[in-house]
Amino acid sequence: MAFHGGRLLGYMLAGAVAAGSVGALAGWSAWSPALRPLWTLAHVLALALGLWMLWQGRQPAWLENIGRAGPRQVPAAGPGWQRIQGPGRAAAAGGLWFAWPCGLLQSALVVAALANSPWGGALTMGAFALASAPALGLGPWLWLRWQRAGGQPAALSAGATAWAVRFAGATLAAASAWAMGHDLIRQVVAYCIS
């Protein structure tokens, strides 16, 4: 319950920020030339990370160890799972859930950004959080029930994992290269037309 409460508050805050940010974009457009080098640097770093993952077939150690206090261990709940202890930690994890890279969640944030006010954005994301909560509660419950009945998750081989990371790296590198190329073409077209 703490996780879902934190998730509801986090979603509502993200919706309010998304809706309020759309109105502020007009004022921020004057800062666009100053922010362009930071935008380019972010894409160059993402391109480098993607190429590194494509070449190595794994994440860099510094990225893989973010949030880990000690050496990598298999969590008590099984491979791939980490147990969150205490309602405060669960609420914090739920509060940050809006940052999860989920297409449905990000599209709900876009809908919230179209609201007339931050309150409208917050209510939009609150409705989304409440509507999606049963699936987030039912999924883990079914998974644990299946495991108790003797089901075992299929383990990915090291080779399959490496190829999945390589694919993710290629996708990240391609997206960053496309963004930088698209911006460059836009600048060339603007220069040639003016």
Higher pLDDT, 142 or 125: 125
Domain boundaries, the chain: 2-193
Highest mean pLDDT pick, 98-107, 144-153, 158-167: 158-167
pTM, rounded to two decimals: 0.50
Cβ–Cβ under 8 Å, residues 13 and 135: no
Average pLDDT for 62-76: 60
Secondary structure in 3-state letters for 34-67: HHHHHHHHHHHHHHHHHHHHHHHCCCCHHHHCCC
Read off the tokens for 100. Answer: 């999860």
